[in-house]
Amino acid sequence: MAAQYQPGEVEQRRYERWVKAGYFTARADSDKPPFTIVIPPPNVTGSLHMGHALDHTIQDSLIRRRRMQGYEVLWLPGMDHAGIATQNVVERRLAQEGLSRHDLGREKFVERVWQWKAESGGAILGQMRRLGDSVDWDRERFTMDEGLSRAVLTIFKRLYEDGLIYRAERIINWCPRCLTALSDIEVEHTDDDGELVSIRYSDEVVVATTRAETMLGDTAVAVHPDDERYKHLIGTEVELPLTGRRIPIVADEHVDPAFGTGAVKVTPAHDPNDFEIGQRHNLPSLTIMDERGVITAHGPFQGLDRFEARPAIVAALREQGRIVAEKRPYVHAVGHCSRCKTTVEPRLSLQWFVNTGPLAKAAGDAVRDGRVRIEPADLAKRYFAWVDNMHDWCISRQLWWGHRIPVWYGPDGEVVCVGPDEEPPAGEGWRQDEDVLDTWFSSALWPFSTLGWPAQTPELAKFYPTSVLVTGYDILFFWVARMMMFGLYAMDGVQPFDVIALHGMVRDEHGKKMSKSFGNVVDPLDWIERYGADATRFTLTRGANPGGDVPVSEDWCQGSRNFCNKLWNATRFALLNGAHVRGELPAELTPVDRWILSRLQHVIGEVDGLFESFELAKVCDVLYHFAWDDVCDWYVELAKPVLAAGGPAAANTQRVLGHVLDQLLRLLHPVIPFVTEELWTALTAGETVVTASWPVGVPELVDDAAEAELATLRRVVTEIRRFRSDQGLRPAQRVEARLDGLAAAGVAAHEPLIRSLVRLDDAGAGFAATAQLAVTAAVTVALDTRGAIDVAAERARLEKDRAAALKEAEQCRAKLDNPAFVGKAPEPVVSKIKERLSAAEADLARIATALEALPAA
C-alpha cells in the first residue's frame, strides 16, 4: 500500500472494474428479495450540481447497503428530455448559425435535437460515474425512448377515455419569450418591487392594481355581497375608463372587503382568480394581449408591449383625473420563467388538462392508509396540503421537442385520440394537435414505464412497486404527487414506491442558499477532483438529516479527506503488523480486545437502526467517531505494545484488529465506496466489498464488564495526558510517577499499558512528588517534574491564559447581567453567551489547579 491515499489513482480504476464485473446489474429472475430505486431523472441538458450529488449519494448509500444485505438490487438510471430547456439549447445553437427552428421546420428541428442529444446531451451520466453511482447501466432509460413513448401514449389514451383528460380554455402560466404554457415548477416566484395605483371607475367605485394595462380587459367590478358600502350598486353598471364600455358590478363572496377599497377589477382572461369569478358570473373573457405580451385591444395602446402600456395607461388615466392615489411602492410575488427569467403572464388559452380530482384523492389516501410512508413524517402535512387542494393540471406545451399530443382533428370538427397500436385517421383535412406534453407528464410514469409498462415484463413483476423514492422536499408536489397519481391509476391501486425519503437543499456553511448571484455555488466535480469522491460524499451525507437542509463547506470536505486518510493509515498499520481475517475469532481475549468487539456490536445495531429511518447524517457520525476515536485513537494505540511484545496475545490481537477493520470498512462502504474497496480488498484478499455481506451483530460479543473497564482506563489516560499538557510537559518527555488506586478502580493489570501510553516511568529512589492529580475517586497520580519543565515559563504561560479566560468570563457576565441584551437578543444568541461563560469558568478552574500543582521556583 502507498503511504497516502490518492483518490485519483483509485476511483476510475475501481469504478470501471465494478461495472465490467456486473456488480450493479439486477436480475429479474433472481429469488432474492427485491430492492428498487429509480433515480430522479436529471435533465438531459444538466450537469452534476451539489443537489444532485447529495441526492445520488443518499440513494447510493441505501442501494449499496441493501446489495450487501443480499437483496436483488435495482438502481435504475436515466434522463429526462427536459422539453423547454433542451429546445432552448438547440435554438441558441441554431441562432449562432443565423437560423431559427421555423427555418428548419418541425421534423428537421426535432432531428437536430436528437443529434444534439447524441453528441452533447447527458454529460451528467459520466459525472455520476465520477461520484460512484452504482446504477444498473444496462437499464438506462430516457423519457423520449421508444418504450417510454409507448407508455405515454397508452396512459394518455386511457385517461382520455376515462374522462380524466380534457381540452378547455383556462388561465395558465404563459412565457411570452418561450411562447409556451409552463407548469407550476417551471415558474419561479420572487418578491418584486411594483407600484400600486388606485383608479376611480366612478364616484363610488375605486379599484387598486399593480397591472394597470389589464384594465383594458375588465368585464366587471366585484364586491362582497355583505359590504354595506356597495350593496346598493350590485347589479348596476359602471363605465370602464378609457374604453367607453359599460361593465356590471357583481357580488362575490371571494372578495375580501377589508383589502383596499373592497372593490376589485375583474379581468377573466388575464388573472386566475378573476377567471374563477368570471366563471361563477358568466362574464365574458376579453383577451387584450397576444402571445408575446403585446397589447391587441383596439385603441391608442394597441401594439405596445405590456410594460410599455402600463405607464402609458396610467398617464392617460391621470389626464382624465382618474388616479385617486399616485403610484406607491408595493412589493408582491411575481412569477418568472425558470428558463429565461421572463415575467410570466397569466393567459386564457385553449389547452389540455388532467382532471386531478379523483387521482389526487387516491394519492392522498395511499399515504393516509399507510401504503406509502413519508420520511420525515412531519412533511406529510405539506403533501396533504397540496394533494387535497390540487388544481387541474395543464399538460400541453407549445413546443416541438417532446411527446406530441396524440389527438387528431377532422375537417368536420371530429376529435380522435390515437393509442400506441392504432393508426391515425387518414384523409384530407385531418391534422394532429401541434402541442407536446408537459415534461412532467412522462416523468410521472417513471417508476413503472422504466420497467417496461404497459407490457407485463419480468422487471415490472419483480421490481414494482419500487422500495423508496429519494428526492428533495422542494419537488414533493411537482413530481412526487404526479408519480403517485399516475402510478396508482396505471397499476390498479398499487403505489409507485413504499417510502418517500425527503431531504433538504444544499446550502453553504452559513446556511445560505447557494446561488450564482451570491457567489457561493460549489461545483461537486471540483471537490471530487481535489479531495476525492469519498470525501465529497461523506461531507454531504454528514449533513443529510431527513427533511433538513444540508450545509457544506470546503473545510468540512478537507476534514472528510483527512478521515479517509485516517482509515488508510490505520489499515496500513494493521497490515504491516500482521492483522488478518483468517479463521475464527480467538476464545481467549484481553479486556482491550473484548472491549473493541463489544463496541463494534453496538455500532452495528445503531447503524442498522439509523439506516432504516434514513438518518444518514447520524450513520456517518456514529461511524466517524467509532472509526476515529475507538478504533484509531484508542484500539490501535492500545494494541501497539501488545503487537510489539509478540506471543499468543499478539496473535489474538492481530485477528481481532483484522476483524474490526473488516467490519468497519463494510459499514462505511455505502457512503465512501472507493477507499473502503481499496482497503478491504488489501486487508481480506477478497474480490470486492461491493458484494461482501453486511455486518450482523453478535450478541455474545457484547461485554459490559470490558466496556466499563476500558472506560476507566481511557479516563485515567486522558486525564494524565491533559495534566501533563497543563504542566507544560512535552508529549514525548518521560517523567517518574507513582500511580495509586489502580487496583480499586479495576485497572491494575493495565498499569504497564497506562505508563506506556502516557510516558511515565516507575518512581525511583530519589522520587519527589512535585505535582499531584486525582483522576477518579480511587486513582491518584503523583509526578516528579523537577528538571522536566521551566517552572517560570510555564507559570507565565498559565497566567497569560488565566487573564484571557478572566476577560472572556467578565465580558459574558456583563452581557448576561444586562436586561436589555437578555430581553432583546434571540434565545440562541443568549444560549451561546451562556456556553461561552461556562467554558471560560471551566478554563479558570483548570488553570488554577495547574498553577497550584506547579513546584516552587
pLDDT digits (tens, 9 = 90+) for 669-722: 999 999 999 999 999 999 999 999 999 999 999 999 999 999 999 999 999 998
61-70, 305-314, 447-456, 658-667: which has the minimum mean pLDDT?
A: 305-314
Helix (H) / strand (E) element for 537: namely helix 533-541
Residues 694 and 550 in one domain: yes
Structure confidence at residue 828 (pLDDT): 76
Residue 724: predicted pLDDT: 87
Closest CA to 343 of 310, 386, 317, 314: 310
| pLDDT at position 856 | 67
Q: If you write DSSP's letter for every residue of 577-620 in order, what string do you get? A: TT----SPPPSS--HHHHHHHHHHHHHHHHHHHHHHTT-HHHHH
Taking the model in full, what pTM does it have? 0.85
pLDDT score of 484: 97
Is 175 a domain residue?
Answer: no
Segment 799-827, tens digit of pLDDT: 888 999 999 999 999 999 999 888 888 78
Whether residues 677 and 807 share a domain: the answer is no
Backbone angles phi, psi at 775, to 5 degrees: -80, -50
Q: Which triple of cell numbers denotes residue 480?
A: 412526487
**Looking at residue 730, what is its pLDDT?**
87
Q: Residue 45's Cα: distance from chain center in Å?
A: 20
Determine the pLDDT at residue 857: 60
Q: Count of domains in the chain?
A: 3
**Domain containing residue 799:** 790-857
Together in a domain, 333 and 230: yes
Average pLDDT, the chain: 93
DSSP line for 299-352: STTTT-BHHHHHHHHHHHHHHTT-EEEEEEEEEEEEEEETTT-PBPEEEEEEEE
Bind-site residues for ATP: 516
Measured in degrees and rounded to the nearest 5, phi and psi for residue 577 equal: -110, 25
Among residues 326, 346, 366, the one where a domain terminates is 346
Where does a domain end: 329, 346, 363? 346
Sign of CA dihedral 253, 255, 259, 264: negative
pLDDT value of position 497? 98
Same domain flag for 230 and 326: yes
Same domain, 198 and 338: yes
Shared domain for 536 and 677, answered yes or no, is yes
> Does 291 fall in a domain?
yes
For 111-141, the three-class secondary structure string (H helix, E strand, C coil) is HHHHHHHHHCCCHHHHHHHHHCCCCCHHHCE
Same domain, 225 and 337: yes
Model confidence pLDDT, tens digit, residues 495-537: 999 999 999 888 888 888 777 667 788 899 999 999 999 999 9
Answer yes or no: do 574 and 674 share one domain.
Answer: yes
Q: Which residue has the higher pLDDT, 473 or 603?
A: 603
Let me know whether 681 and 795 are in one domain. Answer: no
Q: Do the domain assignments include residue 615?
A: yes
Query: 715 in a domain, yes or no?
Result: no
| Per-residue confidence band for 267, with pLDDT thresholds at 50, 70 and 90 | very high
Domain CATH code at residue 839: 1.10.287
| pLDDT recorded at residue 381 | 93
Mean pLDDT for the stretch of residues 550-576? 95
- Phi/psi zone of residue 452: left (φ > 0), alpha (ψ -120 to 50 degrees), beta? left
Same domain, 191 and 329: yes
Going by the annotation, the residues of the binding site are 516
Please answer whether residues 386 and 476 qualify as being in contact, where contact means their C-beta atoms are separated by less than 8 angstroms: yes
Q: What is the mean pLDDT of residues 574-597?
A: 96
Residues recorded for the chain:
857
Q: Look at residue 654 in the predicted model and tell me its pLDDT.
A: 97
**Mean local confidence (pLDDT), 792-799:** 80
In a domain, 769, yes or no: no
DSSP 759-793: TEEEP-TT----EEEE-SSS-EEEEE-TTTS-HHH
Averaged over 777-794, what is the pLDDT?
Answer: 82
Nearest CA-CA partner of 314 in 243, 210, 206: 210
Question: Mean pLDDT, to the nearest integer, of 331-350?
Answer: 86
The confidence score (pLDDT) of residue 327 equals 59
Does 103 map to a domain? no
CB-based burial, 90-120: b 16+ in 10 Å, e otherwise: bbeebeeeeeebeebeeeebbebbeebbeee
Q: Any idea what the CATH number is for the domain that residue 574 is in?
A: 1.10.730.10
Give the pLDDT band (50/70/90) at residue 326.
Answer: low
Please check whether residue 305 lies inside any domain of the structure: yes
Enter the DSSP assignment of 33: P
Where among 666, 683, 702 does a domain terminate? 702
- 761 within a domain of the structure (yes/no): no
Is 697 in the same domain as 569?
Answer: yes
Give the mean model confidence (pLDDT) for residues 111-130: 94
Distance separating alpha carbons of residues 677 and 683, to the nearest angstrom:
10
- pLDDT band of residue 140 (cuts 50, 70, 90) is very high
State the pLDDT at residue 571. 98
Here the CATH number for the domain that contains residue 241 is 3.90.740.10
Q: What is the mean pLDDT of residues 466-492?
A: 92
Q: What is the pLDDT of residue 622?
A: 98
Q: Do 698 and 564 share a domain, yes or no?
A: yes
